[in-house]
Structure 1
Amino acid sequence: MTPTVLAVGGHIGDMELTAGPTLAKVALEGGRAIIIDCTYGERGHPTISPSAYRQQKIDEARFFADTIGAELHLLDYSDGFLPDTEDVAEQIAAIIRDTQPDTLITHWLHSMHRDHERAAQAALRGAFLASIPIEEVSAERHSVRSILHAENWEDMDGFDADTFYEIPDEAYERWRTGIGAHAFARGETYGFRYIDYYSALMEVKGCLAGCRRAAAFQASSHEKFALAGP
């Protein structure tokens, strides 16, 4: 049975960058890859107005999803202002119930970005809400079997990779094409060479995993998160 993998990011571009190669691999192998971007990430350009960059980010997200063969869900929240409320978790829970993913990928819980932390917390809370019976919700409940935190250079406080997925050449190339449409990833916003960094990181992790390229994750432990039983 081919897997369904759902990735939840704080901004457009976060999961595309970090979980994107794995999502491309899933799609190539006949699985279902899904991205939820919680905010538009529209305040991340030093010279383009947030309103103009917002539309550019949406276009970039759609191009990436089309390129790797993923489904895209955009939540209507503003960059830097993702709320710490049940509303976000309930939106994610509704998508989990509808798509029934086998694996959930999100940020590590400790980050320099509040939107990253809140997206991760909402993803975990959403997975819990999706797994329990709620009479007011007609959709079938669903328990995600595995939850992974993506490796992100901005989310490294206490992160310790323990799960590796080999990234084949075709998945890597689709990811390169898709992420290359993102201005920030090309280094056009604040100069960080994201594509070079994550390409090199996959090579390094591939050395550890015994393959050419690998994406690294940390599995959620039961001490951090517990799903309700079926």
Structure 2
Amino acid sequence: MLVLSAHPDDAELACSGTIISHIEMGKKVGLVDLTRGQLGTRGTPEIREMEAEAAASILGLAARENLGFEDGFFVEDKDHIIAIVKAIRKYQPEIIITNALHDRHPDHGRASDLVSRASFLSGLIKIETGQKAWRPRNVYHYIQDRYIKPDLIVDVTPYWDQKIKTIKAFRSQFFNPDSEEPGTYISSPEFLLFIEARALELGHSIGVKYGEGFTSERNIGIKNMFELL
């Protein structure tokens, strides 16, 4: 499984429970951040890099890297798409998870479009990167600030405390009573309550405590209805 996110901390907020649960199943999970979060009001790219490493350790990731795109200004062009294609071919994931289809932050929807396009193009042998062509079986988009009706919900109840630890690894970004930096939308204590409320809502809809929701680019097929929650 490869998670590609516009900013360091996007994945921790939206799908870290899913990441942890699949690592517990014995799956390898890698994370590629597209930008260093250079435009964030709080912290610096260097601080966020250290925070991302701390979060990766908590998550138990097999790999984490950053493509260094320009925060707020990356575009859907050949250079950016090829950079993502190279990352996909490097890790050869069966599943890709990426940003929400559309969201409050414009980078999220832009990253979503970029990753979707690159996931397809990565399978074309005539796009030469010196790597084997590779196309993932499925691409899923997590749900972020704006509510989007999910196509599937993952039960992350057993991993909730660990998820919160990964979020709080980004000390510069989220609620820290000792911080002297400017307050932001995501640095208030209410924001973390919102994250929990969303997870409670999604979990409630499938009969568990906490859930993380995803949209799918294609219909989801199963062989055994009895395996559904």
**Alpha-carbon offset, residue 135 of structure 1:** 6.0
| Equivalent of residue 145 in structure 2, options 146, 153, 166 | 153
Distance in 1, matches of 2:93 and 2:10, equals 19
For residue 200 of structure 2, what is the aligned residue in structure 1?
Answer: 203
Conserved 8 A contact 2:2-2:29: yes
Matches within 5 A, 1:1-230: 5-45=1-41, 48=43, 53-70=44-61, 71-134=63-126, 136-154=128-146, 156=147, 159-169=148-158, 171-182=159-170, 183-186=172-175, 189-190=183-184, 191-192=187-188, 193-221=190-218
Conserved 8 A contact 2:100-2:141: yes
Cα RMSD over matched residues?
2.0
1:166 aligned partner, one-letter code: D
- Between 181-190 and 61-70, report the one with greater CA deviation: 181-190
Identity of aligned residues (%): 22
For residue 222 of structure 2, what is the aligned residue in structure 1?
Answer: none
Distance in 1, matches of 2:161 and 2:104, equals 29
Give the gaps of 5 or more residues in structure 2.
220-229
Q: SS state of the match for residue 173, structure 1?
A: helix
Distance in 2, matches of 1:115 and 1:123, equals 12
Conserved 8 A contact 2:121-2:127: no
For residue 227 of structure 1, what is the aligned residue in structure 2?
Answer: none
TM-score with structure 1 setting the length: 0.83
Alignment length (residue pairs): 209
2:151 aligned partner, one-letter code: D
Q: SS state of the match for residue 128, structure 2?
A: coil
Cα-to-partner distance string for 1:88-116 (whole Å, 9 max, x where unaligned): 22111112112121211112222232221
Distance in 1, matches of 2:112 and 2:212, equals 19
**Alpha-carbon offset, residue 14 of structure 1:** 0.9
Distance in 1, matches of 2:27 and 2:156, equals 15
Give the gaps of 5 or more residues in structure 1.
223-230
Conserved 8 A contact 1:64-1:181: yes
TM-score with structure 2 setting the length: 0.83
Which consecutive aligned stretches of 4+ in structure 1 deviate over 4 angstroms post-superposition?
none
**Alpha-carbon offset, residue 62 of structure 1:** 0.9
